[in-house]
Amino acid sequence: MKWSLKYVFLFLLLKVILVSAQTSAGKNIILRIDTVTLMDIEPDNSAISIVLQPSPEAGEASVSTTNDLKWINYSNSLFVGDSNLDIYIELDQPISGLDLMVQAETCLGCNGQIGVPEPMVTVTSIPQKLISNIGGAYTGNGVNFGHQLQISAIVSDYALISAIEDQVIRLFYTIQDY
């Protein structure tokens, strides 16, 4: 009886070892990515200053300072077949005798199909394309990410300008499909 119990136990142990097998199962995962388009100006919406300095020499033109403290950040996800996006810039009012110039620099810290900066844009009250062909992309958030903006003013007609004190002009940025 002792031997037969040992054999039965050994037989069962071997059966468990030899018969054990791996099994696998699968589960479906539903992945959803909504379309989203976000854009902001960094570091904040505070005003910038552009000063036309008097010419350093008689007979020379005034010199504009350039402000490069602002950055455009964006995030964009698209469905297949959706149009890419462009960013437009415009002024709320014309400036007599002055042209406001804006250049968006090449994107820093960006990933995906980032936008392509247009050459220097003369900003008017009619929307002008600043950055084109934004696909699924993101720029990162904050200063030193995205497209740095170089903003300056030049005199376009000396006959129309006069001394002005702190004229506030609003720039509007719009991101839209084309």
- pLDDT, one tens digit per residue, over 97-141 is 888 899 999 999 889 999 999 999 999 999 999 999 999 999 999
pLDDT at 141: 93
pLDDT at 21: 57
Sign, Cα dihedral of 50, 151, 139, 74: positive
Q: What is the mean pLDDT of residues 155-172?
A: 79
Q: What is the mean pLDDT of residues 158-169?
A: 75
pLDDT at 161: 76
Q: What is the pTM of this model?
A: 0.77
pLDDT in tens, 8-63: 666 665 565 655 556 677 888 888 777 889 999 998 878 787 777 777 788 877 76
pLDDT at 11: 66
Q: Which domains does the chain have, with CATH numbers?
A: 36-177 (2.60.40)
The two structure tokens encoding residue 102: 């804006």
Whether the bond into 43 is cis, omega within 30 of 0:
yes
pLDDT at 178: 67
pLDDT in tens, 67-94: 888 999 999 998 777 888 999 999 998 8
pLDDT at 2: 58
pLDDT at 144: 93
Residue 41 and residue 173 in contact, taking contact as beta carbons nearer than 8 Å: yes
Within a 10 A sphere around the Cβ of 143, how many other Cβ atoms? 14
pLDDT at 52: 77
Report the chain's mean pLDDT, rounded to a whole number: 83
